[in-house]
Chains A and B, each alone.
Chain A
């Protein structure tokens, strides 16, 4: 069974600083996707970034980038120039495409607070 581990339950950072959120996963699959979702106080789950396992290049989305280390099964999220609006729960998630039932496996989440 696939598992996702987020070992840091909580972090805080000053506005404009850079912060890295860690995530490791365990799977025997070779084809899969990894995601970071953000859940602000509104509780709406928002996709931050996605990575296909077969792509060696790390995904980037504006201030958000990942460090995908497939051999180490590590998928960390780097947030540059942190903003107050980045304050949220962050969930790392794993998915194996199954042609009809793509279940997401979530980590426990990490609470990030950006301080002014």
Chain B
């Protein structure tokens, strides 16, 4: 299957700082990428759809000013958690749909801990 990378794999930051997470599709172009959040022992919760060259589409209840998404190229999307607080601590996962197979492939995830 297709390969999607995420960086960093884990990050610890102080409350009030901003953290950027990168998602890259390594072997296909992705005009759309998805960002999820996952709490322990729970399913994935879709946060937003990242659209190349245009604004992201956020799910209901997700603060767009807090979770900034930029999709500057066909292989890279970034999620920036601004002014992070301990309640933002979570596991963040991105996915990229391979249009050729109508299948989404996932990055390995980023564990964010805000102190």
Q: A42-B108, A103-B34, A103-B49 are in contact. List 6 more A-B contacts (CB 8 A).
A: A33-B102, A95-B104, A101-B49, A104-B44, A106-B44, A108-B43
Task: Check if B43 sits within 8 Å of A91, measured CB to CB.
Answer: yes
Task: Please indicate the chain B residues that have their CB under 8 angstroms from the CB of A108 in the complex.
Answer: 42-43
Q: Which of A22-30, A44-52, A71-79, A80-88 contacts B (4 or more CB under 8 A)?
A: A44-52
Q: For the complex, is B25 an interface residue (Cβ under 8 Å from A)? A: no
Name B's interface SS.
strand
Task: Check if A45 sits within 8 Å of B95, measured CB to CB.
Answer: yes
Name A's interface SS.
loop
A-B contacts counted at CB < 8 A amount to 54
Chain B's interface size range is: 20 to 34
Q: For the complex, is B67 an interface residue (Cβ under 8 Å from A)? A: no
Task: Check if B49 sits within 8 Å of A43, measured CB to CB.
Answer: no
Q: What is the bound-complex CA distance between A24 and B106, given in angstroms?
A: 23
Which B residues have a C-beta under 8 Å from some C-beta of A?
A: 1, 31-32, 34, 38, 42-44, 46, 49, 57, 91, 93, 95, 97, 101-106, 108-109
